[in-house]
A and B are shown apart, each in its own frame.
Chain A
Amino acid sequence: MDLIHPMDKLEVAKALRQATADRKRLLVVGGRTHVDKGEPCEVDAELWTTQLDGLVAYEPAEMIAVVEAGMRVGELDRILWDGGQEWPCDAPPRATVGGVIAAAATSPRRLRVGPIRDTVIEMEVVTGDGRLVRSGARTVKSVTGYDLHKLMTGSLGTLGVIVQVALKVRPRPRSRRSVRVAGGLEVGRRLLDAVPGPTAVLAMPEVVELRLEGWPEETERQVEATDRVAPVTVVTEEGAFPFERPWEASAVIAEAAVPPSRLAEFLTRPFHDLPGPHLGSWGALLGVGIAWVGLSSSDGDLEALRTRARALGGIAPVVKGPGGLGNDVPPGLDVHRRLKASFDPAGVLAPGRFWGGI
């Protein structure tokens, strides 16, 4: 497999023009942390974005950071730390900003911080035929033309190569607490109702972990409210959230998305159907509707899981291991196809990697 390792966006554009001319199929790769997401597809080369790792602009008072897409999340965290701010993606430090965005990765703190797409306000992307296109603006809001960056977020590198983004960042909360209590989905649900303004309520089979953020007086009150529902066993003041992600031990991880109120049904019922030994662990973001489910393989279990997700109005793409996205057909398939044809006319960007065979 060939490797293309451009040093800047001009080289990315050149590479894609060349690929278009040669009909050479490319897979865009960042930190390899989210590369499993997507349908299996055959490519002729990998295009690494990791050399595009510069900081373009960062003005803490504007709460906006502009970075090249290959910048590692860990590096960005360090830069923002000095400004007292964060980009709340909670991806592994070696992940790249562009990769997190292209995969539309979900932060465990999504309940409070929102989906990643809401933080991307400007983007430069090199299309399949090598054109550098910019959309959005470096202002906290903008309704100026079509939000191409929305289209690119979660597109798994099938429409273009994200080369630079402006991110809306947030002040790092003055006080942060991670709190553990015993219990599962039911305790989690009660906590979601009882604790005012939690940043995350992550339910696992035997334990619920809460993330509480804000002013010190605020988190103190949230901890008290938690304790009234179920005795708090662990409180930490710093450190990552969650403490651990037990589902990550599994060979295959599906990231299911269902309406929040259907999580319990999704997580309790299918496992009765599934053969016991294949069961991995899981973690569910209550109030959000995301559940990471560990599976030992992508065989029958995954299909059962997807069937259940679909019945509840959701999906269950795999984010680690084999298994792809699933065969759900995206709405507006014709629109999808026309978009692909416009942005990647020669079909060089990971053809077949996306939903609907795109």
Chain B
Amino acid sequence: MADVDAARRELEEALGTTEVLSDPLALTLYARDAAMVEGGCALVAFPHTVEDVVACMQVAARHALPVVPRGSGTGLAGGATPIGDALVVVTSKMDRILEVRPEDRLAWVEPGVLNLDLANAVAPLGFTYAPDPSSQQTCSIGGNVNTNAGGPHCLAYGVTSSHVLAVDVVLPDGTVERFGSEAPEAPGYDLRGILIGSEGTLGIVVGACVRLTPEPPAVRTMLLDFSAVKDCAATVSSIIAGGVVPAAVEMMDHGIIVAAESFAHAGYPTDAAAVLLVEVDGLPEAVEAQSRAVENAARDHGVRTIRVAADDAERALLWKGRKSAFGAVAQIAPHYHLHDCVVPRSKLVDVLAGVYEIAGRHDIIVTNVFHAGDGNLHPLLSFDRRIPGTLERVLSASEQIVRLCVNNGGSLSGEHGIGLEKRDFMPLMFSEVDLGAQACVRAAFDPEGRMNPHKVLPAGARCGDFAMARGTDAAQAAQSIPEGSWI
């Protein structure tokens, strides 16, 4: 049993008493993120500096406390949900933009800097930070790094991994390392690449060097409105198959359109079965050509109307509805369960039909708002936990939806991560050997297994099973590997 009280005293000594929480009610507020599983923790710490984080790691190591890093707590997979006597290290107070260097198209930021604050800070210089998760006004860069966050504009610009040049990390043993560099290549394995998307299981990100993207000279945002979901989905495949990659292609179905419209008043057609929000950018000539291609694809699939945003204000309004869609679903029911599967774009029509069917069979309301261009679904099951039996129906439907996606060649998560909620689905995609290899990566960073335990990998996955050759006679080990286990 860890000596939490001693750990608290040492943390207070290092960080100051106001920066460590141990009151039960205060701890409750850090027991979950935006997903639907709640845990608990023993301590919460607010580091202000890299040294503070190092101190947190050292104290945790001394007292064998699990460590759970947390940014803004907007995660949708329970990645920041602490369990047991965890120390939650909240990086929200490390929120300075340290340096903006237009000549290298990069900026150094602390992990608590909010995504939108960064984008706004570099806008006057003609740059943007391309990954734009829907929670961008709230989510932090540290959190983005840990989930390899996406967003509508990642269709053309790529996910976080393509926009983070280097990360400063405090490893579980308290050492500080910089993975990646300002230069395009760095010595060693791409530990930066492994760390991005590792959901806080390898270390705590204390700084990031992000790539800045020049603002496109011209942008056009279009709202395409359809009377059938399948036409809408087919349009997406058609656009991409035509060799056009818009900056963003987002889809919203009827339920979401109604909820989002009630908040954003964006003028969404509330009688539509589905809409596509398409943005194209580039030189004016390219914008023109891409718009034509998009409009043609939409007409081929019976689009009802095409609304082109007349100015920045209208554009912002069209996006406001999209980006607040998740938050708006409480209008439908108080709880939601959300998946984040990615499927091949050509399977969108079939998979969506399947999702509606499964939800219908389980008598659960499902709405869809997602990155259609990437094939990244967000089937959102709305329910009221207070009605007995509902949660069980939701979980059953949820498993069937995930299986449907994986059976169609899909992936479990496009941008939210696996966290706690989806870890038991991992064997649907990966063999035991695959998972063992992943466990080895984790163990290489965190041999004691104290970083964000229970996350990402299912309970069974162990490095030991994989690297059984270690420390034994290699020849003997090779013999002992059961025939066939390597395929």
User: Are the CB atoms of A338 and B374 closer together than 8 Å?
Assistant: no
Number of chain A residues whose Cβ lies closer than 8 Å to a Cβ of chain B: 97
From B191, B456, B481, contact of A17 by CB (8 A): B481
> How far apart are the CA atoms of A9 and B444 in the complex, in Å?
26
* Given A150-B193, A154-B189, A345-B470: A145 touches B430 (CB 8 Å cut-off): yes
From B148, B418, B478, contact of A130 by CB (8 A): B478
- Stretch touching chain B among A215-223, A240-248, A294-302: A215-223
- Stretch touching chain A among B13-21, B259-267, B408-416: B408-416
Is B395 an interface residue when CB atoms closer than 8 A count as contact?
no
> How far apart are the CA atoms of A132 and B434 in the complex, in Å?
8
* Given A133-B433, A313-B182, A339-B441: A259 touches B286 (CB 8 Å cut-off): no
> How far apart are the CA atoms of A134 and B346 in the complex, in Å?
23
Q: Which of A104, A117, A147, A326 has the most CB of B within 10 A?
A: A147
User: Are the CB atoms of B435 and A289 closer together than 8 Å?
Assistant: no
Is A141 an interface residue when CB atoms closer than 8 A count as contact?
yes
Which residues of A219-244 are within 8 A (CB) of B? 220-222
Is B94 an interface residue when CB atoms closer than 8 A count as contact?
no
Q: Which of B148, B185, B196, B435 has the most CB of A within 10 A?
A: B185
* Given A106-B185, A118-B161, A258-B183: A332 touches B191 (CB 8 Å cut-off): yes
Which residue in chain A gives the minimum CB-CB distance to B162?
Answer: A118
Instruction: Report chain B residues within 8 Å CB of A313.
Output: 181-183
User: Are the CB atoms of B286 and A218 closer together than 8 Å?
Assistant: yes
- Stretch touching chain A among B35-43, B238-246, B380-388: B238-246
User: Are the CB atoms of A142 and B414 closer together than 8 Å?
Assistant: yes
Which residue in chain A gives the minimum CB-CB distance to B412?
Answer: A144
* Given A133-B437, A313-B181, A342-B466: A147 touches B240 (CB 8 Å cut-off): no
Is B285 an interface residue when CB atoms closer than 8 A count as contact?
yes
Is A351 an interface residue when CB atoms closer than 8 A count as contact?
no
From B197, B426, B486, contact of A143 by CB (8 A): B197
Is B101 an interface residue when CB atoms closer than 8 A count as contact?
yes
User: Are the CB atoms of B487 and A132 closer together than 8 Å?
Assistant: yes
Instruction: Report chain B residues within 8 Å CB of A196.
Output: 217, 283
Which residues of B390-440 are within 8 A (CB) of A? 409-418, 426, 429-431, 433-435, 437-438, 440
From A10, A106, A146, A338, contact of B198 by CB (8 A): A146
User: Are the CB atoms of A131 and B412 closer together than 8 Å?
Assistant: no
Instruction: Report chain B residues within 8 Å CB of A84.
Output: 243
Is A2 an interface residue when CB atoms closer than 8 A count as contact?
no
* Given A135-B434, A331-B179: A336 touches B189 (CB 8 Å cut-off): yes
User: Are the CB atoms of B183 and A315 closer together than 8 Å?
Assistant: yes
Is A204 an interface residue when CB atoms closer than 8 A count as contact?
no
* Given A215-B285, A215-B286, A339-B189: A140 touches B487 (CB 8 Å cut-off): no
- Stretch touching chain B among A54-62, A68-76, A178-186: A54-62
User: Are the CB atoms of B435 and A143 closer together than 8 Å?
Assistant: no
Q: Which of A85, A197, A287 has the most CB of B within 10 A?
A: A197
Is A20 an interface residue when CB atoms closer than 8 A count as contact?
yes
- Stretch touching chain A among B51-59, B313-321, B337-345, B361-369: B337-345
User: Are the CB atoms of A61 and B474 closer together than 8 Å?
Assistant: no
From A23, A131, A220, contact of B474 by CB (8 A): A23
Instruction: Report chain B residues within 8 Å CB of A64.
Output: 344
> How far apart are the CA atoms of A62 and B342 in the complex, in Å?
12
User: Are the CB atoms of A22 and B475 closer together than 8 Å?
Assistant: yes
Which residue in chain B gives the minimum CB-CB distance to A345?
Answer: B469
Count of chain A to chain B residue pairs whose CB atoms are closer than 8 Å in the complex = 305
Is B177 an interface residue when CB atoms closer than 8 A count as contact?
yes
Which residue in chain A gives the minimum CB-CB distance to B478?
Answer: A21
> How far apart are the CA atoms of A330 and B177 in the complex, in Å?
10
> How far apart are the CA atoms of A260 and B96 in the complex, in Å?
24
Q: How far is the CB of B416 from chain A (nearest CB, A)?
A: 7
User: Are the CB atoms of B444 and A144 closer together than 8 Å?
Assistant: no
Instruction: Report chain A residues within 8 Å CB of B346.
Output: 59, 61-62
User: Are the CB atoms of A20 and B342 closer together than 8 Å?
Assistant: no
User: Are the CB atoms of A60 and B466 closer together than 8 Å?
Assistant: no
Q: How far is the CB of A280 from chain B (nearest CB, A)?
A: 20
User: Are the CB atoms of B171 and A132 closer together than 8 Å?
Assistant: no
Instruction: Report chain A residues within 8 Å CB of B103.
Output: 260-261
Is A100 an interface residue when CB atoms closer than 8 A count as contact?
no
> How far apart are the CA atoms of A84 and B411 in the complex, in Å?
26
Per-residue interface assignment for chain A, residues 310 to 327, with 1 indicating a CB less than 8 Å from any chain B CB and 0 otherwise: 001111000000000110
Interface size class of B (residues with CB under 8 A): 35 or more
Which residue in chain A gives the minimum CB-CB distance to B199?
Answer: A143
From A104, A197, A217, A221, contact of B185 by CB (8 A): A104
User: Are the CB atoms of B189 and A144 closer together than 8 Å?
Assistant: no
Q: How far is the CB of B169 from chain A (nearest CB, A)?
A: 8
> How far apart are the CA atoms of A196 and B281 in the complex, in Å?
12
Q: How far is the CB of B292 from chain A (nearest CB, A)?
A: 10
Which residue in chain B gives the minimum CB-CB distance to A289?
Answer: B184
* Given A62-B344, A356-B187: A20 touches B244 (CB 8 Å cut-off): no
Which residue in chain B gives the minimum CB-CB distance to A346?
Answer: B474
Q: Which of A110, A134, A150 has the most CB of B within 10 A?
A: A150
User: Are the CB atoms of A343 and B440 closer together than 8 Å?
Assistant: yes
From A60, A197, A335, contact of B282 by CB (8 A): A197
Is B375 an interface residue when CB atoms closer than 8 A count as contact?
yes
> How far apart are the CA atoms of A118 and B196 in the complex, in Å?
13
* Given A218-B286, A338-B444: A171 touches B245 (CB 8 Å cut-off): yes
Which residues of A250-288 are within 8 A (CB) of B? 255, 257-261, 287-288
Q: How far is the CB of A228 from chain B (nearest CB, A)?
A: 15
* Given A22-B475, A260-B105: A218 touches B162 (CB 8 Å cut-off): no
Instruction: Report chain B residues within 8 Å CB of A326.
Output: 187
Instruction: Report chain A residues within 8 Å CB of B197.
Output: 143, 146-147
Q: How far is the CB of B354 from chain A (nearest CB, A)?
A: 17
User: Are the CB atoms of B194 and A146 closer together than 8 Å?
Assistant: yes
From B282, B438, B463, contact of A218 by CB (8 A): B282
Q: How far is the CB of B165 from chain A (nearest CB, A)?
A: 9
Q: How far is the CB of A22 from chain B (nearest CB, A)?
A: 7
> How far apart are the CA atoms of A250 and B401 in the complex, in Å?
58
Which residues of B76-102 are within 8 A (CB) of A? 101
Per-residue interface assignment for chain B, residues 183 to 225, with 1 indicating a CB less than 8 Å from any chain A CB and 0 otherwise: 1111111110110111000000000000000100100000000
From A13, A59, A142, A331, contact of B191 by CB (8 A): A331
> How far apart are the CA atoms of A132 and B41 in the complex, in Å?
39
Q: How far is the CB of B141 from chain A (nearest CB, A)?
A: 16
Instruction: Report chain B residues within 8 Å CB of A261.
Output: 101, 103-104
Instruction: Report chain A residues within 8 Å CB of B478.
Output: 17-18, 20-21, 129-130, 346
> How far apart are the CA atoms of A130 and B418 in the complex, in Å?
28
User: Are the CB atoms of A217 and B286 closer together than 8 Å?
Assistant: yes
User: Are the CB atoms of A140 and B374 closer together than 8 Å?
Assistant: yes
Is B237 an interface residue when CB atoms closer than 8 A count as contact?
yes
Which residue in chain B gives the minimum CB-CB distance to A104?
Answer: B185
* Given A21-B478, A61-B237: A335 touches B444 (CB 8 Å cut-off): yes
Instruction: Report chain B residues within 8 Å CB of A9.
Output: 487
B residues in contact (CB < 8 Å) with A = 101, 103-106, 147-148, 150, 154-155, 158-159, 161-162, 171, 177-179, 181-191, 193-194, 196-198, 214, 217, 237, 240-241, 243-245, 282-283, 285-286, 288-290, 342-346, 374-376, 409-418, 426, 429-431, 433-435, 437-438, 440-445, 447, 456-457, 463, 466-467, 469-470, 474-475, 477-479, 481, 485-487
Query: 10 A-B residue contacts at CB 8 Å?
Result: A104-B190, A127-B437, A137-B342, A139-B343, A139-B411, A143-B413, A144-B411, A148-B194, A148-B441, A346-B474
Report, nearest first, the 3 A-B pairs whose CB atoms are least far apart. Answer: A330-B188, A150-B193, A217-B285
